[in-house]
Amino acid sequence: MIVKGKADVASVVLTLSTDAYADTDVLAITHEIPNAVSVSGGTGVIQSIVIQDDDDQAGALDLVFFDANTSMGAAANATLAIADGDTILGIQEVVAGDYVDMINSQVAHFENVGIVIRGTGTSLYMGAVSRDTKTYTAAGITVRLGILMD
C-alpha cells in the first residue's frame, strides 16, 4: 500500500527571557506555527521533535501543543496560567537525560511522537513550560517539528 500525503518540518525559535527560570514558569509564550496542516481545519500528526539548545543548558521542559492561540501566562518567565486547557492537543515532556551533549549545545530528539493535531485555519500553536531552574539567551532554543499532514 502506498500512503500519499504531505510532510514538512516546521522550525520555531522560542522567544525566551534572559532571567533565571523557576520550575513551572512559562519558558516560552505561545508561538504560532503557520502551515502546520495543509488545509484549513485539516489534521496531521507530529511525527518527530528536535530541540536544539544553543545555550548548552539541557533543561527539563514541556512543549505544549494547542489547536488555538491559547495564553500560557503573561510573558516568558511568568507564572504558568493556561487560559483554556480544552485547547491542548498534547504535551511532550523533555528531561535532562533526553539531551545529547554536542559540546557547545544540547540536542534532544524524539521519534514516533504521535500527537494528532487539528489546525486553526492551517496553524498550530506551541508554548513551553520550564521544569528546571536554568538561564537562557533570548533565542537559545529552537524546536523543529516533523509533521505528517492529511
Report d(CA 77, CA 29) in Å as an integer: 9
Report d(CA 126, CA 11) in Å as an integer: 11
Mean pLDDT of 46-54: 98
Helices (H) and strands (E) in the chain, counts: 0, 10
125-148 pLDDT, tens digit per residue, is: 999 999 999 999 999 999 999 999
- Cell numbers found for residue 111: 521519534
- The secondary structure of residue 120, as a DSSP letter, is B
Specify whether the CB–CB gap between 17 and 130 falls below 8 A: no
Report d(CA 17, CA 20) in Å as an integer: 8
Q: What is the largest CA-CA distance in the chain?
A: 52
For 113, phi then psi, to 5°, come to -65, -50
**Which domains, and CATH codes, for the chain?**
13-149 (2.60.120)
Mean pLDDT of 28-44: 94
Q: Write down the pLDDT at residue 1.
A: 43
57-88 pLDDT, tens digit per residue, is: 999 999 999 999 999 998 999 999 998 878 99
Report d(CA 141, CA 137) in Å as an integer: 8
Q: Write down the pLDDT at residue 84.
A: 80
Pinpoint the alpha helices (H) of 3-139: none
Report d(CA 68, CA 88) in Å as an integer: 8
Specify whether the CB–CB gap between 110 and 97 falls below 8 A: no
